[in-house]
Amino acid sequence: MTLGPEMQSHLDDLLSDAMHSPQSRRTLMQRALAVGGAAGLAYVFPKAVFSQAATPEATPGGEAPGVHIAGGDVELADEQVIRLGMTEPKSMDPGVSTGYDELGIFFNIFDGLTGIDMATGEVVPRCADSWDVNEDATEYTFHLNPNVTWNNGDPITAADFEYSWKRVLDPDTLSLYRPAMHPIKNGLAIDSDTDPMDFNELGVTAIDDVTLQVQMEASCPYFPLLTSTWTYYPVPRAIVEEHGDAWVEAETILSNGPFKMVEWNHDQSIILEQSENYYGEKPTITRAEYTIFPDDSDQEYISFENDELDFAWPSASDLERIASDSEAMATIHQFAQSNCRFVTCDTKTAPTDNADFRRALYAAIDRDVIATTILKGTAVPALNVIPADIPGNNPEAVNPVGEEAAKAALEASGIDPATIELEYSYRVTNEIKLVAEYLEQRWPEVLGIKVKLNPIDAAAYSDYVSSRGDQPFNTKYGTWGSDFADPSNWHNQNFISASDHYYLSWKNEEYDALCAEAVSETDADARNELYRQAEVLLVHDAAYIPVYRGVASVAVKPWLVDFHVQPILAYAHLRLPKIAAH
């Protein structure tokens, strides 16, 4: 272990860079899990899952969000081999994974009941040919394609899905993603702290080989979206039971997608090859070679520049370096992420229990400076909370901003700024630190208050947050990324007082009532309207002060065509892409 003392100080920066750089999908992937008991919906994906919004206004400019490179009639290369980068997977078991870089592998080697069409973002059938749903969306019946098989040719039956879903809640599985099953009936009861139910009581039943019936805990109109995600993928029972946690190693793993994993050289590479037994349409790509980069490496984009990769995630510093190089910039594609970084305020403790004071904090932040100067274009300002690609978002749910508005709000609060020393706690990564330092300088400048920063080690931050329920704080960093294109994933999941995911003790009865009404509303327009009204209250109360949203950049070689990256779960899916002759 060579780690000279002079290197030690660089270490934190390196590590934190890795945490924040857009190079890493991890930015998009602020892993999140639900707090059990969130009303109606207790389920969160690590990063936004589905970009395609249900309503047209969700895609401003009429362009599908994400990266979409058309193919057309191009001459194809003889060798359809794609080369990509990733980081070492945490768990290659879809029932366990919280959604790290292994997702990029999952999407290509596994098939769920449903999947997402990368070009349109819509839910499409995969293992299930079709499904029926009852009127209030509390019961689903999936009809499996009788031809679906594992990569070794063995058939997949409804019982495989029943086993795999129940296995997630089996205490022995030690899944990190148990809440994924909470929308299914008894999911929450199985995870009850006080009196847990047996995991076999989960509301999923294989009626026969090709029919899977699912009872929901509550109305869940977006369930077919959920079944396209990795926690709902089937796992091969015999192999799992024989090999335990190690079943996912390349020697033993069995999956059911268009590709199969043939090599996993830890910390080095993963090789996928087309599966000869795939029941669906065969992809054009025959082989995928993933180079595994260390978590905190800047080498991925350098490899791309050296023509060693076809697709890569440049870091912020890479982007700065190539900004004036038009040839290099031509390979860069940018898209807005479906997330929001905000300042959260303690509403049980002075001075942030004062809504006018919180609005003063909201107004004082110059979001353009953060987006363009501090974060150098890797962010866009956010004045409302819900991102534009989520239906029911309300871009008009904003408070007045600027120095005048800030001073007016401070005046209205009746608080003497000279008496205030405001603490701001944050998770120490580069990006978050930069913004914290801006706030430390900006709030005093505009409001005349003092600001004290309280940096918290990345590995200790979520412990800090979850201990704030009964302990005072002033303000702290918070973030959320869409898990799927439904506003309940934001409001009901996080902000209603029954969830209070960020431990702010914020309660607005009118807001809670609107969200409760919206989540069970089956008419999409009426539902979105209710959520738009709710967002006005959410932003007006300013317990959550939206600041900015991330912008992701990917680098794509010109010969990679029919290539799509969705802004939510932004991984390279290999079903559609082709390598053009070059």
Partner 1 sequence: MLAIYTITFFLIHATPGSPWSNQDKPMPKAVTDRLNEAYGLNDPLWKQYIDYLTNVLRGDFGPSFTSRSRTVTDIIIDTFPTSLQLGIVAMVLAVIAGITLGTIGAVKHNTWIAYLSSFLAIIGISTPSYVVASLLVLFLASYLGLVPTNGWDGVASTKIIIPALALSFYPAAILARYTRSSLLDVLTTDYVRTARSKGLKDRAVIIRHALRNALLPVVTVGGVVFADIITGSFFVETISGVPGLGRYFVTSISTRDYPVVLGTVLLFGFVITLMNLIVDLIYPLLDPRITR
Q: Cβ closer to partner 1: 140 or 490? A: 490
Cα gap 33→506, rounded to integer Å: 20
Q: Cβ closer to partner 1: 34 or 556? A: 34
Q: Which of 14, 19, 8, 10 is nearest to 429 (CA)?
A: 19
Residues 323-382 binding partner 1 (CB under 8 A) are: none
Report the residue from 292, 383, 386, 543 that binds partner 1 according to the rule CB under 8 A: 292
Report the residue from 59, 152, 462, 497 that binds partner 1 according to the rule CB under 8 A: 462
Q: Cβ closer to partner 1: 103 or 446? A: 103
Q: Cβ closer to partner 1: 11 or 323? A: 11
Q: Cβ closer to partner 1: 194 or 324? A: 194
Instruction: Decide if 272 contacts 109 (C-beta within 8 A).
Output: yes
Report the residue from 130, 200, 373, 466 that binds partner 1 according to the rule CB under 8 A: 466
Question: Given the rule CB under 8 A, which of 68-76, 361-369, 379-387, 455-463 is the region that contacts partner 1?
Answer: 455-463
Q: Which of 285, 185, 152 is nearest to 580 (CA)?
A: 285
Tokens of 264: 């996993």
Cα gap 294→415, rounded to integer Å: 49
Smallest gap from residue 337 Cβ to partner 1 (A): 14
Size of residue set near partner 1 by CB under 8 A: 71
Report the residue from 152, 205, 286, 291 that binds partner 1 according to the rule CB under 8 A: 291
Q: Cβ closer to partner 1: 50 or 247? A: 247
Smallest gap from residue 311 Cβ to partner 1 (A): 16
Residues 481-540 binding partner 1 (CB under 8 A) are: 501
Smallest gap from residue 88 Cβ to partner 1 (A): 7
Distances (CA, A) of 228 to 26, 50, 113, 117: 20, 10, 6, 10
Instruction: Decide if 288 contacts 268 (C-beta within 8 A).
Output: no
Residues 33-92 binding partner 1 (CB under 8 A) are: 33-36, 44, 88-92
Report the residue from 209, 308, 437, 529 that binds partner 1 according to the rule CB under 8 A: 308
b/e per residue, 386-395, with b = 16+ CB within 10 A? bbbbbbbbbe
Question: Given the rule CB under 8 A, which of 65-73, 127-135, 151-159, 452-460 is the region that contacts partner 1?
Answer: 452-460
Smallest gap from residue 484 Cβ to partner 1 (A): 16
Cα gap 556→171, rounded to integer Å: 42
Report the residue from 325, 463, 510, 525 that binds partner 1 according to the rule CB under 8 A: 463
Smallest gap from residue 118 Cβ to partner 1 (A): 26
Smallest gap from residue 115 Cβ to partner 1 (A): 25
Return left, alpha or beta for 115; rule: phi > 0 is left, psi -120 to 50 is alpha, else beta: beta
Q: Cβ closer to partner 1: 331 or 533? A: 331
Cα gap 360→434, rounded to integer Å: 21
Q: How far is CA 156 from the centre of its chain?
A: 29
b/e per residue, 280-313, with b = 16+ CB within 10 A? beebbbbbbbbbbbeebbbbbbebbbeeebbbbb
One-letter amino acid of 292: I
DSSP 8-state assignment for residue 370: I
Question: Given the rule CB under 8 A, which of 67-75, 115-123, 365-373, 477-485 is the region that contacts partner 1?
Answer: 477-485
Residues 181-210 binding partner 1 (CB under 8 A) are: 191-193
Report the residue from 1, 72, 195, 581 that binds partner 1 according to the rule CB under 8 A: 1
Q: Cβ closer to partner 1: 298 or 437? A: 298
Count of other CB atoms within 10 angstroms of residue 245? 13
Question: Given the rule CB under 8 A, which of 73-81, 260-268, 330-338, 537-545 is the region that contacts partner 1?
Answer: 260-268
Report the residue from 93, 289, 318, 486 that binds partner 1 according to the rule CB under 8 A: 93
Q: Cβ closer to partner 1: 278 or 311? A: 311
Count of other CB atoms within 10 angstroms of residue 141? 16
Report the residue from 195, 281, 306, 509 that binds partner 1 according to the rule CB under 8 A: 306
Residues 419-448 binding partner 1 (CB under 8 A) are: 427
Q: Cβ closer to partner 1: 179 or 258? A: 179
Distances (CA, A) of 453 to 9, 55, 141, 434: 20, 41, 53, 12
Distances (CA, A) of 480 to 27, 273, 287, 294, 296: 11, 35, 35, 26, 23
Report the residue from 78, 459, 470, 509 that binds partner 1 according to the rule CB under 8 A: 459
Backbone angles phi, psi at 369, to 5 degrees: -60, -40
Tokens of 241: 């039971």
Question: Given the rule CB under 8 A, which of 172-180, 280-288, 344-352, 523-531 is the region that contacts partner 1?
Answer: 172-180
Residues 374-393 binding partner 1 (CB under 8 A) are: none
Find the helix or strand (DSSP H, E) in which 379 lies: strand 379-381
Residues 237-256 binding partner 1 (CB under 8 A) are: 245-249
Per CB under 8 A, 268 contacts partner 1? yes
Cα gap 225→164, rounded to integer Å: 17
Report the residue from 266, 282, 452, 582 that binds partner 1 according to the rule CB under 8 A: 266
DSSP 8-state assignment for residue 126: S
